[in-house]
Chains A and B, each alone.
Chain A
Amino acid sequence: MRFSFTPEQDEFRTSLRRALEARSPTKEVRRLMATEQGFDREGWKKLNQEMGLTAVHIPEAYGGAGFGCGELGIVLEEMGRSLLCAPFFSTAVLAATAILNAGTEEQKKALLPKIASGDVTATFAFSEDSGLNDAASVATTAIASGGSYKLDGTKSFVLDGHTADLIVVLARKPGSKGEEGLSFFTVDGTAAGLERRLLKTMDETRKLARLTFKGVEAKLLGAEGKAAAPFAKTLQQVIVCLANEMVGGAERLREDALAYVQMRMQFGRALASFQTMKHKAADMLVDVELAKSAAYYAAAALDESDPEVPMLASLAKASASEAYLQTAIHAVQMHGGIGFTWDNDTHLWFKRAKSSEILFGDANQHRETMMQNWGAGT
């Protein structure tokens, strides 16, 4: 399964690609990215429910379709390809994964069906103003009060944090340090004391928000003080998902740049007939295919609970970071002047490449993580 897709998976990809081509042409991407919400609630709900997207990897016991990361990876790759503007990554990948890893049986039964059905959008807030992704840098505090908790602090770089109905928050017991004292909480998006501000982002297709918590009412998710392990696991799954999304975008950029040089004439011949273009195109193909192999392999490893997942996840993210950005740089160059314009679509993916390169850790960070975990499974 690590090296090929089944006929059913191929078929699923084809119908999803067709649906996304129809619903998310770049004209629609441009319209939505310019809105504050960043997506169209009704349109997304309809597409989501038709294709069962947020249900894909949620187990059937919680109202999902019960597929694995292989299928989730396909959804993400196709979304990366079409730059769909929708709170899918935040809801299905970030929040649902955190809930699956941390929640009690009862909590999963309460929270996940609404996510699977597309009635609730959600996100997971862990990074703070430093932008770091590690447990130790969490400073937001949670104080027990009565049967619930009160959160104080700031979360930043929260994907779709300004629109999510449900927010999973990572916070700590006051006075605790490092990986100790961390817990997950759930917060209602409209809770009193929660201030949500949309951040202005370089990549407008991916909305980020800064959330300020002032005594915000929260419910504990999972075991108190035991969030470090499920958080680490969640992050690994998240970066594998992101890597799969990224290779979808990279492939689209590669194909578009190729189509452009095939069509554009200079010196009486197609640009594609110049060897420097041909060699660049061949190199882009190598970069993208290798990154795809790493992303697919990591997704399959997740499905098989391979002990090497911590290494493989970082390998896939580092690989995708380099390949996507390099492809984007080549793609702009191959377009010439028009590639630098707002009207040409290349910059939409260029910016997604840049934002994805950094999101949840850049290539340097993940190469280091990979090295720390090399051979851990053997």
Chain B
Amino acid sequence: MSDIMESDLTEEQARADVRAWLKANWDPELSLLEWRNKLVESGWGAPHYPKEWHGRGLPVKFNTPIDDEFAKVGAITVARAGIRTLAAATILDHGTDFHKQKFLRRILTGEDTWCQLFSEPGSGSDMAGAVTRADKKGNKWVINGQKVWTTSAHKAHWGLLLARANWDAVKHKGLAYFVLDMKQPGVQVHPLRQMNGHASFNQVFFTDAEVEPEMMICDVGDGWTVATTTLMHERRGADGLRTWAQASNRKGRIYEEEKAEIATTMEPYKWYPQRAGRVDLVMKRAKETGKIADPVVRQEIAKLLIMSKSAEWTARRARAAQNQGKPQGPEGSLGKLASSHVARQAARVHTYITGADALLSGADSPMEGVIAEILVSVPATSIAGGTDEIQRNIISERVLKMPKEPSVDTTKPFKDVPRNITAKA
């Protein structure tokens, strides 16, 4: 976020300030919405946002200690999980005051849920090859086409949409980026069943769906740049430092409401901790099963722990460099690839630890199916948000400055580029 304000506040002062504020305001008998509105008004919900947009203009490095103070008193945070944070980051970077006014508060309070309408049947890794059409008709943009793998589309109020508005421009220059109202007749959502049995992603069909002109972010032709911002935030969040809200057993109205939120709005994400491999369970499980005494398993566990610890430390190095205002070093681009390695090794280790029980699923599998869910969810990590191969392309080209592949698609008008045949293109 470019408009972060410099601040002379020390970490200790920030901690003291938030502690005092929490002492005066935190009340588990408030409703979730009442509480989050207080957070938004005080700026303590997103302290790294600018002061005029529900934040306090504090450096990002204070988020961890501030979260820590929240956790100490059991206070609930603003809504953070899912695509909504990417939407907020993109809007803060590229949106107008109108967009910020309209969306940011309701993102933080959790009133609105979002989805990311990027991938299509014909273009996934090659995201800039989108063929969903945006045509200006009268005073509206009219959308036709299809998106796929859209996580949480069935829950979402708003979608971040990448669509082609100019077919004569070259591939990356003909795209526009919209905020699309998902709750309209022209949008149809069909859940897709995944290999782990869940159905958190969807097919989304647009038949003359409509978007108001002011809901475009930047201009026609800038869609790719804006989408890159969204992706950058997504990949940065995939560096293994991310945590997921877990329902608390504490007593109080607000905890009940949070539990309900996790079970409904956040339902599509309930298997996400498993897809990262659940490294946190490994030692406990190895001790319970006695596999901790097996020298081969010990070696594999150690490999996993080394990888996950050093991936975490690498992400922290990247963050520390960012906080010091140093130019981003290579360590900042590796998180997503490293987390795929961790997830794969974790699945391997859970299998060794679990033995024959790893053949089972659901209630018959250990931990009420959690172990089985890890084994069949980990493959998502190396695909979603950009595959491992694409991450390697990005690292080699952007960080290591190796040459790009010879390109056959980036210099001619997009309408002349060879592409997959899709039903609605």
- Interface on A for B, CB 8 Å cutoff? 2-4, 258, 261-262, 269-270, 272-273, 275, 277-279, 281-283, 285-286, 289-294, 296-297, 315, 318-319, 364, 367-368, 370-371, 374-375
Contact = CB atoms under 8 A, between A and B. Distances in A.
24 contacts: A3-B320, A258-B400, A269-B403, A270-B403, A273-B403, A278-B392, A281-B402, A282-B391, A282-B393, A283-B392, A286-B334, A286-B341, A290-B310, A290-B311, A293-B310, A293-B313, A293-B331, A297-B309, A318-B306, A364-B299, A370-B302, A371-B302, A374-B283, A374-B305
A275 B321 CA distance: 30
A282 B392 contact: yes
A2 B313 contact: yes
Interface string B391-425: 11101110111111110000000000000000000
Contact of B331 (A289, A315, A367, A370): A289
Given A4-B324, A281-B396, A367-B302, 18 more contacts: A2-B313, A3-B317, A4-B321, A4-B326, A262-B401, A269-B403, A270-B403, A278-B392, A278-B393, A281-B402, A282-B391, A282-B399, A282-B400, A286-B341, A290-B307, A315-B305, A370-B306, A374-B283
Contacts of B403: 269-270, 272-273
B320 A285 contact: no
Contacts of A291: 310
A364 B299 CA distance: 7
A364 B302 CA distance: 9
A318 B142 CA distance: 58
Contacts of A262: 401-402
Contacts of B321: 4
Contacts of B338: 286, 290
Contacts of B402: 258, 261-262, 272-273, 277-278, 281
Interface string B324-355: 10100011001001100100000000000000
Contact of A319 (B310, B331, B399, B404): B310
Which residue among B310, B324, B338, B404 has the maximum number of chain A CB atoms within 10 Å of its CB? B310
B115 interface: no
B295 interface: yes
Sort A-B residue pairs by CB-CB distance and give the 4 closest, nearest first: A367-B302, A278-B396, A293-B313, A3-B320
A273 B400 CA distance: 12
A367 B330 contact: no
Given A282-B400, A318-B302, A294 B313 contact: yes
Contacts of A289: 314, 330-331, 334
A43 to B, nearest CB: 33
A319 to B, nearest CB: 5
B313 A297 contact: yes
A294 B306 contact: yes
Contacts of A370: 302, 305-306
A285 B311 CA distance: 12
B319 A282 contact: no
Which residue among B311, B317, B391, B393 has the maximum number of chain A CB atoms within 10 Å of its CB? B317
A297 to B, nearest CB: 5
Interface residues of B, number: 43
A272 B406 CA distance: 12
Nearest to A315: B306
Which residue among B303, B316, B334 has the maximum number of chain A CB atoms within 10 Å of its CB? B334
A371 B301 contact: yes
Contacts of B364: none
Contacts of B3: none
Contacts of B392: 278-279, 282-283
Nearest to B340: A286
A282 B395 contact: yes
B41 interface: no
Contacts of A279: 389, 392-393, 396
A4 B320 CA distance: 6
A94 to B, nearest CB: 25
A65 B268 CA distance: 57
A308 B372 CA distance: 32
A322 B404 CA distance: 30
B298 interface: yes
A364 B295 CA distance: 10
Contacts of B299: 364, 367-368
Contacts of A290: 307, 310-311, 314, 334, 338
Contacts of B404: 273
A277 B316 CA distance: 28
A227 B349 CA distance: 38
B314 A293 contact: yes
A273 B306 CA distance: 32
A79 B320 CA distance: 25
Contacts of A371: 298, 301-302
A367 B334 contact: no
Contacts of A367: 298-299, 302-303, 306
Given A368-B295, A368-B298, A315 B396 contact: no
Which residue among A4, A292, A364 has the maximum number of chain B CB atoms within 10 Å of its CB? A4
Contacts of B401: 262
Nearest to B333: A285
Which residue among B320, B338, B392, B399 has the maximum number of chain A CB atoms within 10 Å of its CB? B392
A291 B397 CA distance: 22
Nearest to A295: B310
A10 B154 CA distance: 51
B106 to A, nearest CB: 35
Which residue among A273, A282, A291 has the maximum number of chain B CB atoms within 10 Å of its CB? A282
Contacts of B305: 315, 370, 374
A261 B301 CA distance: 35
Contacts of A286: 334, 337-338, 341, 395
